[in-house]
Amino acid sequence: MKKIFAISIFLSAMVVFPVLGQAQAIVTSGNWYLQTTSQVAKDASQLPQVGGSLTQTDSTISGVLHVSNSTCFDWATDVPVSGTITGNSVTITSADVSGQIITIAGSVNANLITGTYSIASGCGGGDYGTITAVLVSPATGNWTGTVTSVPTNSAATASFSQASPNADGFSPLSGTLTMSGLSCSISGTLAKEQSWVLGNLVQGVANLTDGSTLAFNGFITNASTSANQMTVNFSISGGVCAGQVGTATFSMQ
């Protein structure tokens, strides 16, 4: 009887421990920011700045990315990606974009992917190197900051709400924006169809109360950490503040 009992425990261990050892990593769905370092030559990466959506279903990962500041990719072009997760290992491959296919392989936890990338064929073919991808915390919240402009400086406040990424990988941004102390004071509401976050990029258009518009674009400057700082350049068209330009630096409260 003792021998049978011991064998039973041994077989149970053989069944249980491999399952525990194959625990699968979970990728948190949302807006991701990817940075690369090319091994081909200094500053030669064709994926210098990448942002967009990633999501996981069972062992499958998918999303839509966009590449900025590249001579081989148009930032406005969707780059659909898909792949698999096994344990804490991930492999992601892009669709063919202008003859180019991106492959990413690395390790993953909920908010971080580290590993390597390579580009096959097309304009960027032959580029390869290391890559780090981080989940960027949503810009949802209250922001305060200062504006550097001509002829004077001013204060700025904003209240943003960031939605989940859409089918093109952009995370729509809504909310309000106010600046005081300029040659005039302005306030307005973001146009959702023109306002978004993509990786660490931020862009928006605010419809101001006097019928004019304020366009801004910039970066979340600490996307890889707390993502609570933002710097944007802006310009105002029409209204009493027409021609006003400047730079606003925000911190989330």
Mean pLDDT of the 48-70 span: 96
The encoded tokens of residue 16 equal 């249980």
Question: Do the domain assignments include residue 164?
Answer: yes
Domain boundary among 111, 135, 159: 135
Range of weakest confidence among 38-42, 81-85, 147-151: 147-151
- Residue 231: inside a domain: yes
Q: Which domain-ending residue is among 135, 157, 173?
A: 135
pLDDT in tens, 68-122: 999 999 999 999 999 999 999 999 999 999 999 999 999 998 899 999 999 999 9
Q: Which residue range(s) make up the domain with 189?
A: 141-252
Q: What is the mean pLDDT of the chain?
A: 89
Residue 11 lies in a domain: no
Q: How many CB atoms lie within 10 A of CB 137?
A: 19
Q: What is the mean pLDDT of residues 158-183?
A: 93
Q: What is the pLDDT of residues 8-22, one digit of tens each?
A: 433 344 444 444 455
Which of 135, 150, 165 is at the close of a domain? 135
Helix (H) or strand (E) holding 220: strand 213-220
Q: What is the percent of the chain with per-residue pLDDT over 90, rounded to a whole number?
A: 76
Do 128 and 184 reside in the same domain of the chain? no
Whether residues 87 and 174 fall in one domain: no
Domain count, the chain: 2
Q: Does residue 4 lie within any of the structural domains?
A: no
Is the pLDDT reported for residue 2 higher than 80?
no
**Is residue 200 very low, low, confident or very high in pLDDT (cuts 50, 70, 90)?**
very high
Q: Are 131 and 146 part of one and the same domain? A: no
Q: Give, in order, the Cα–Cα distances in Å from 121 to each of 46, 99, 128, 194.
A: 12, 6, 12, 33
Looking at the predicted structure, is the pLDDT value of residue 240 above 50?
Answer: yes
Same domain, yes or no: 130 and 148: no
Whether 216 is covered by a domain: the verdict is yes
If asked whether residues 150 and 220 sit together in one domain, one would say yes
**Rounded to an integer, what distance in angstroms lies between the CA atom of residue 179 and that of residue 29?**
33
Mean pLDDT throughout 56-64?
96
8 Å CB contact between 130 and 115:
yes
Alpha-carbon span 60 to 85, nearest angstrom: 6
Tell me the CATH number at 35: 2.40.128.120
d(C-alpha 234, C-alpha 203), whole Å: 10
Q: Are 175 and 118 in a shared domain?
A: no
pLDDT of residue 16: 40
Handedness of CA 196, 202, 50, 77 (dihedral sign): positive
pLDDT digits (tens, 9 = 90+) for 202-233: 999 999 999 999 999 999 999 999 999 999 99
E strand or H helix at 30 = strand 30-38
If one compares 36 and 5, the residue with the highest pLDDT of the two is 36
pLDDT of residue 21: 54
Residue-wise pLDDT for 89-102, tens only, equals: 999 999 999 999 99
Residue 51 has pLDDT above 90, yes or no: yes
The predicted pLDDT at position 7 comes to 37
92 and 156 within one domain: no
Could you tell me if 235 and 192 lie in one domain? Answer: yes
Joined together, the tokens standing for residue 119 give 């580009």
Alpha-carbon gap, residue 65 to 196, rounded angstroms: 14
Whether residues 154 and 244 fall in one domain: yes
Whether 151 has a pLDDT exceeding 70, the answer reads no
Assess if residue 2 is contained within a domain: no
Give first-to-last CA distance, the chain, whole Å.
Answer: 67
Same domain, 217 and 187: yes
186 and 124 housed in the same domain? no
Query: How far, in Å, CA of 126 to CA of 218, rounded?
Result: 30
Q: Is residue 7 part of a domain?
A: no
Predicted pLDDT at 43: 66
Q: Is residue 9 part of a domain?
A: no
Give the per-residue pLDDT at 8.
40
**Predicted pLDDT of residue 33:** 98
Same domain, 200 and 151: yes
